[in-house]
Amino acid sequence: MSHSSDLIGSDILGYLRAHEHKSLLRFITCGSVDDGKSTLIGRLLYESKLVYEDQLAALEADSKKVGTQGDNLDFALLVDGLAAEREQGITIDVAYRFFSTERRKFIVADTPGHEQYTRNMVTGASTADLAVILLDARKGVLTQTRRHSYIVSLLGIRHVVVAVNKMDMVEWSQERFDQIVAQYHAFAAQIGLHGITCIPMSALCGENITSHSAVMPWYTGPSLMEHLETVVVEQDNQAKPFRLPVQWVNRPNQDFRGFAGMIASGRIAPGDRLRALPSGHEAILSRIVTHDGDLPHAVAGQSVTLTLDREIDVSRGDVLVAAAQPASVADQFQATLIWMHEQPLLPGRPYLLKVGARTVTATLSAPRHKINVNTLEQQPARQLELNEIGVCNLNLDRSIAFDPYVDNRETGGFILIDRLSNDTVGAGLLQFALRRADNIHWQALDVNKRSRSTLKHQRACVLWFTGLSGSGKSTIANLVEKRLHANGRHTYLLDGDNVRHGLNKDLGFTDADRVENIRRVAEVSRLMVDAGLLTLVSFISPFRAERQLARDLLGDGEFFEVFIDTPLAEAERRDPKGLYRKARAGELKHFTGIDSPYEAPENPEIRIDTTELSAELAAERIISMLHDKGVFDSDDDSALAAL
């Protein structure tokens, strides 16, 4: 099983060539806490002769120091690298390990068992071809077993090994093994999980790990290693339609233009007709270029550069597909989402969505439902918390090429990224495009924003006033509008309290409601700018992400963030509405500055310190900024000077 080939001594180059062309299997181990996942992987590494002498010496020392097996080797310590894991005897992070045999190379991800680390399990499973789900023979199918099995099914892993571990603790009982297998198959049928191989074993004792066990003669199936070496997965992606997400447009000189990326699925050969999506332009494949020369054909998993017979518009993030079997293109979807961040999903908040090599902006609706993975029940939900799974609608700022995840994991899977922190907050699976996207089209109008602004002798824009309650936003915004109006300017002021009496009267003050509050106001502001108005918006708008959303809805030079910078202590001292007093007394929940955060602007167009400037002087400074930014016609300079 280990690297004992005769070629090592006689033809090392031949051995290396043979090793290079072995197939690769990516698999994960998952299951409940203390089911023996790390021990199993440690045993596989040990039996594959991939533990070097210094590692073995360290393992022996660590086994005596922190191990759980007395004088015997504690194989789990080969994998559990984090100090916290060793101290607690559990796996927290995803541990990736490489090993190989004479027949195949492997990358295994040891994923955590605790429920709070489900997101780590999702990370490890996202690229796996096979899952080894461990069960403790004494405990059988547990809640976390069902959770991990559901995620394995959801992520489209089609090869599953149910490893019934610790058979030594039940005296190698065939009856107990059969009970667990029947119990697991009953649950697997509910979630559509097929292709299951059940193996009784003892990772600690090495039984049925690399060879058939003598103590369980009643089991006639393969050992775990025999199954891992022989399971066929390579053909899965090659049989699908051709897809290549373009990662790089290679243009070293004027005579060469190629499109580089890894083939996500299918096969390709010169002469095949390709289509670039989302543009829809088509061309014939001329060459398949690699570092080692041109190829007569290429298949899924290979990184190549493709050249075409004619120039068409292809950019990074586009997808080259088989013209006869194209992917779909859309900008609205229903998707299954696994939330992976401590901060909950906030419907209406913009996130970055990355699918393949394409990154776009996405907003999500409130979940249609979330899924109880223990009972498979669909439950109502307004948001998703850490490790929860739900179904949402997605709206993107542009169309993308995609396949439903069930058809292609590479072009149907995506991640969500927080736009400010760059944290990955969710992983999702595209189900289908929403038909309503096909029924809605942008209507071209002859009278546009520019003509409306010209008629009013002003450049339409938004003045977005943000700051704590009591900072003076509404007072200053009111003064600015009053002075502009007195000089014949066309304005409208959207005030936070006033809007909540009508448009947003249905919203409360939770984080999710605050996000929706600002999203609606931002959309209204865009319409008012389109009408040619100078639009003043006075909202606390505590989150940077939503203020950025408002900015992104408008063109360059149309959004001015006005930070009314008043310290919390001063705003609380003023307390014109008595809100801080109520918040301190616990009578007012989710109050910004007290029990809900305020994220101050980092680069506002103008900052007003109300401890230094009066409201009147602040208004003058804001109007002066508008003048400097060219919001008013130059012919009106003399009139503006009177302000």
CA-CA distance, 80 to 76, in Å (whole number)?
A: 6
Q: Which residue matches tokens 């996942």?
A: 37
* Segments of 545-612 assigned E as strands: 559-565, 606-609
Whether 112 and 98 have beta carbons less than 8 Å apart is answered as: no
**Strand, coil or helix: what is 206?**
coil
List the structure tokens of 638. Answer: 């003399």
Q: Which residue matches tokens 């509008």?
A: 481
- Among the residues of 169-302, which ranges form H helices? 174-190, 224-230, 235-238
CA-CA distance, 58 to 61, in Å (whole number)?
A: 5
Of 557, 544, 555, 551, nearest to 522 by C-alpha is 551
CA-CA distance, 340 to 118, in Å (whole number)?
A: 8
Whether 165 and 207 have beta carbons less than 8 Å apart is answered as: no
From the candidates 265, 525, 541, 614, give the one annotated as an active-site residue.
541
- Phi then psi for residue 453, to 5 deg, are -65, -40
CA-CA distance, 123 to 259, in Å (whole number)?
A: 28
Active site residue 541: yes
- Phi then psi for residue 558, to 5 deg, are -110, 0
Of 525, 546, 540, 536, nearest to 483 by C-alpha is 536
List the structure tokens of 347. Answer: 């419907």
Whether 244 and 261 have beta carbons less than 8 Å apart is answered as: yes
- Among the residues of 271-407, which ranges form H helices? none
- Phi then psi for residue 65, to 5 deg, are -85, -50
List the structure tokens of 261. Answer: 């990326």
**Strand, coil or helix: what is 199?**
strand
SS3 labels along 40-51: HHHHHHHHCCCC
Q: Classify burial at 481, counting beta carbons within 10 Å of its beta carbon; exposed 0-12, middle 13-18, buried 19 or more.
A: buried
Report the amino acid identity of residue 92.
Answer: I
- Give catalytic residues, as residue numbers: 541
